[in-house]
A = this chain, B = another copy of it.
Amino acid sequence: MRLGAIEAGGTKFVCAVGNEHGHVEEKASFPTTNPEETLQLVLSFFQDKRIKALGIGAFGPVDVKADSPTYGTIGNTPKLQWKDYALLAVLKEKLGVPVKLDTDVNAAALGEYMHGAAKHAGSCLYMTVGTGIGAGAIVNGETVQGYSHPEMGHLLIRRHPNDAYPGKCPYHSDCLEGLAAGPAIEARWGEQAQKLYQQEEVWRMEAHYLAQAIMTYTLVLSPEKIIMGGGVMKKEGLHNMVQQELENLMQHYVPLPDNYLAAPGLADNAGIVGALMLAKDAH
């Protein structure tokens, strides 16, 4: 079955055609400018692709409730041109196929759960540490939704004793994202994360923060596997440093699964494969 997938991100829209087994046949990427411009490019990509359904992993906040009249509409985003944009409704009408949408991180979690590093696990969490921090989770085979979608990047964490950086989050200053996302690393140390590989204290502090988040996710969700991706996690050895910090914090309070923390099995395709899985379920 030919399916369409969109990873609707803040800087680019990745579009793909693939199948219900998560196989990606063709992929293209368009800059996120204003809705009219971006959607025109997206629509022309899908125009002659004869897809049977579409799945979308979208930046948020976005209405993820399938029974809501504003399902798939972007919420109160700082990208003002996209605020209240009915992303799902527009695509559904123009393409004439069923569309299913979830958050970008929930889609990535679903991709990794079905076909990636968590394909043998009964539950998982996908965390991205990049320009922002976010996470999505699969519980009892489904993505976590409630009143809205989770926003796991803004946890309140404990400051590292050597950290004087005030934090970068416009809402909470020194929440997890405010202290540990790529831009916070850059602002604190004066260089981009990828240029700080030689400075061990950078990564010890980073692991200190990320391990607190992993501990929280573990205590609240008890996932079988946690996949950590995003630009910052490209630093070699960081997964292991987080694992060690996690064990220090947890003090054997709950047993941790073997190979608990993993890099994405689908590399940069987790979101797109997840969106294909959403398309498979669209009706």
Give the B-binding residues of A (Cβ under 8 A). 61, 122-123, 137, 139-140, 142, 144-152, 154-158, 171-172, 212, 215-217, 219-224, 249-255, 257
Which residues of the other chain, B, contact A137 by a CB distance below 8 angstroms?
220
Main secondary structure of the interface of A (DSSP, over half): loop
In contact, B156 and A157 (Cβ under 8 angstroms):
yes
B172 touches A146 (CB 8 A): no
Q: Which residues of B contact A139 (CB under 8 A)?
A: 139-140, 142, 144-146
With a CB–CB cut-off of 8 A, which chain B residues contact A158? 156, 158
Chain B residues with CB under 8 A of A147:
123, 222-224, 255, 257
**Contact between B219 and A154, CB atoms less than 8 A apart:** yes
Chain copies in the assembled complex: 2
**Given A140-B139, A145-B140, A147-B123 in contact, is the A220-B152 Cβ separation under 8 Å?**
yes
Which residue of the partner chain B has the closest CB to A169?
Answer: B253
- CA–CA, A197 and B137, complex, Å: 40
Closest to A137 in B: B220
Chain B residues within 8 Å of A255, by CB: 147-148
Q: Are B224 and A151 in contact (CB under 8 A)?
A: no
- By a CB distance below 8 angstroms, the chain B residues around A152 are 219-220
- Expressed in whole angstroms, the Cα–Cα distance for A149 and B253 within the complex equals 13
Contacts A139-B140, A146-B122, A157-B156; is A253 near B219 (CB within 8 Å)? no
